[in-house]
Amino acid sequence: MIAIKSAAARAVFTGATALFFINSAWAGIPIQHWTQPGGARVYLVESPAIPMVDVQIDLDAGGRRDPADKPGLASLMASSTSNGVRASGAAPAMDEHQLSEAWADLGASFGGSASADRMSFALRSLTYPDLLDKAVGLAARQLGEPSFPEAPWLRDRPKLVASLKEANTRPATLAARAFNRAVYGSHPYGWEMTEESLLRTSVADLRALHARAVRACDARVSIVGALNRAQADALVTRLLARLPKAPCAPQAVVPEVQPLAQASEQRIAFASAQAHVLLGQPGYQRNDPDFFALTVGNHILGGGGFTARLTEEVREKRGLTYSVYSYFAPGLHAGAFTIGLQTRPDQAEQALTLVRDVLTKFVTEGPTEKELQAAKDNLIGGFALRLDSNRKLLDNVANIAWNGLPLDYLDTWTQRVERLTVADVRAAFARKVQPANLATVVLGAP
């Protein structure tokens, strides 16, 4: 088993570097796509350089579908699948320790997580037939037949409660929570796990969510590795074999994030050496046609580090902060546009006024030609680093699968950035950002 683990470690290391050289020689990244009879949609990039495969299964069961009184349920359920599996046929039940040891012996890994939009399960394994066969079989059991035992949940829940209590003492956490409530209102994107919601959550809730949400019929499976199409199709079939076979019933429609009708401002007292300032509003959905213009524009405004306009005006010229940033967080719904900084409490008002002025000018006038070209050069020059490992490439393929983006999205990325104009960026920001309707949170300033 030591030899297996060593080989796996070498493969993981090699995979983080070798794929870059392969991709740089490709004219494009061919993504194969097909739909299985049961409804699962599969996306495959063959990467034969190393005997390894990365698989991601995405399901429409993220936090946006959590019950209102149990936010965080999807995340808790996905991570709890590692606590054990039920007995199945001749295969005995396994507790969390036996399951962990089984994965270690295979030199492979499998686990679940959930974001606001989706629940994801990720498998990584060498593709040597004997190892891959065992890894896929074990992953299929963990995905389809988790036992959700009571003891680990009762053990871990107090730790999670303690972690939340500790987080509630941090000013950054409190500011972010207030900001999310101001931006999202009652939308699930603004819900957060609390001590009370954790104590309301039981193992029965985890089991019920698994039974209704982990469905093969609406799975999107992304694969990058040393498999051909036939092998990948067989792998997906086996991974999903223990899930219910019934057709997918339509899920309830999650409402859209509503735009802010007017500005709001919260001043939160907190004994802190630094004031935390956040301002923003709902942004846009990930499949919005303005995505590229907004990405490049935000790089110029506040996402480009020391070259960004906010950094130049707020930090470099006036020394009001060590770091100021902006970003969009698009999803299936309009994720937040956020500007944030920390500053001395007595400087918070000056910094806030300046940030608003910089944003308003940027939305009104857009970037300069020089700023736009510098941003294009930076983003295009760094594009290869987005794809220089199996894991990064898988993230991009899963992004295409989940958001319904064109299969040539990666091939055309640099061209779409290159042809943007100042007018494109200015128009996109004018459509998506309304400086007069910002939600503002200032924590820790007098």
pLDDT of residue 25: 38
Q: How far apart are CA 444 and CA 446, in angstroms?
A: 7
Mean pLDDT of the chain: 93
pLDDT tens-digit series, residues 387-419: 988 999 999 999 999 999 999 999 999 999 999
pLDDT at 16 over 60: no
Computed on alpha carbons and rounded to an integer, the radius of gyration of the chain in Å comes to 24
Plot region of 39 (φ>0 → left; ψ -120 to 50 → alpha; else → beta)? left
The residues of the chain that CATH labels 3.30.830.10 are 2-239, 264-443
Q: How far apart are CA 34 and CA 232, in angstroms?
A: 11
pLDDT of residue 445: 82
DSSP per-residue letters across 142-168: HHH-B---HHHHHHHHHHHHHHHHHHT
pLDDT of residue 232: 98
Q: Which CATH superfamily includes the segment(s) 2-239?
A: Metalloenzyme, LuxS/M16 peptidase-like (3.30.830.10)
pLDDT of residue 22: 41
At residue 262's C-alpha, the angle toward residues 258 and 267, to 5°, is 105
Structure tokens at 50: 């190393």
- Tokens 């429609």 belong to residue: 253
pLDDT range class, residue 5, cuts 50, 70, 90 = very low
Question: What is the mean pLDDT of the segment spanning 12-33?
Answer: 56
pLDDT tens-digit series, residues 356-381: 999 999 999 999 999 999 999 999 99
55 and 226 Cβ atoms separated by less than 8 Å: no
Q: Which CATH superfamily includes the segment(s) 264-443?
A: Metalloenzyme, LuxS/M16 peptidase-like (3.30.830.10)
Question: What is the mean pLDDT of the segment spanning 178-206?
Answer: 96
Give the orientation angle of helix 2-25 with respect to helix 96-106, to 10 degrees: 60
Residue type, 384: A
Question: What is the mean pLDDT of the segment spanning 44-53?
Answer: 95
